[in-house]
A = this chain, B = another copy of it.
Amino acid sequence: MDVTVLLEQVKSGKIAPEAAAEKLRLLSGEDLGYALLDHQRQLRTGAGEVVYCAGKSPEQAAEIFEKLAAAGGNVLGTRAPPEHFEKISVKTPGAVFHKQAGLVSLIQNPPKPLARPVAVCSGGTADLPVAEEAALTAEFYGARVLRLYDAGIAGLHRLVGRLPELREAGAVIAVAGMEGALPSVLAGLVEAPVIALPTSVGYGTGLGGYAALLTMLNSCAPGIAAVNIDNGFGAGFLAARILTI
């Protein structure tokens, strides 16, 4: 909705001033009581809709998911436990569950394929749920994903044989808990931007992912930026955004 166009329509009398005001008000969506939906957002940001399921009851999540699906676009539910998916799948039968990653996705219009792949590298088996959340999110937004799991710093030599593939990626997501050194290593090996994704895997002074995050922020190798601990969705979304521009 372009404001200039609206002003022209007001001038030409096609739209009354009151109606113009009303139009703006409507843009802010319909009120479900607990969540103001925002159908216009997809148009604005070029992205599918997202429902953050944690903190919502299964019924609330399912109702919002259905409303968004009714608008015809793609919908992604994040941090969804199985009981949320059960309720969602009743109202939106086409929804697919990715259990390990806690994602529910509905693809109604396949996204435009992005030009270059996203690489998701991970430091250990325990990081897989977060790594998959990132990988599947990037795919939801049209990216082809190269998965390189168990490529932690203790096994640097394992990365060597995969470097040619890795260097094709337009963005690299480096997933790591514990010491979190993987992003630094990758930033020294590739030219693509590296999205550092710390996980809460670890114990003792791991501080629930904080130690990994600090390592990432203090990296000597430039070309890295970090998202929140365990925020696989954020990393995957950003990777897709980078490849879209």
Contacts and interface: CB of A to CB of B under 8 A. Distances in A.
Nearest to A212: B218
A157 B205 contact: no
A218 B191 contact: no
A45 B47 CA distance: 32
Interface size class of A (residues with CB under 8 A): 35 or more
Interface string A222-245: 111111111101110110011111
A69 interface: no
A223 B206 contact: no
A237 B154 CA distance: 15
Contact of A185 (B151, B153, B171, B201): B153
B180 A124 contact: no
A28 interface: yes
Contact of A36 (B17, B54, B151, B184): B151
B209 A204 contact: yes
A28 B160 CA distance: 8
A178 interface: yes
Contact of A204 (B161, B231, B241, B243): B231
A56 interface: yes
Contact of A217 (B24, B226, B233): B226
A156 B4 contact: no
A46 B191 contact: yes
B211 A218 contact: yes
Contact of A221 (B128, B153, B208, B220): B153
Interface of A: 3-4, 7-8, 10-11, 13, 16-17, 20-21, 24-25, 27-29, 34-36, 38, 45-46, 50, 52, 54-56, 60, 116, 123-128, 149-162, 170-171, 178-181, 184-185, 188, 191-193, 195-196, 198, 200-231, 233-235, 237-238, 241-245
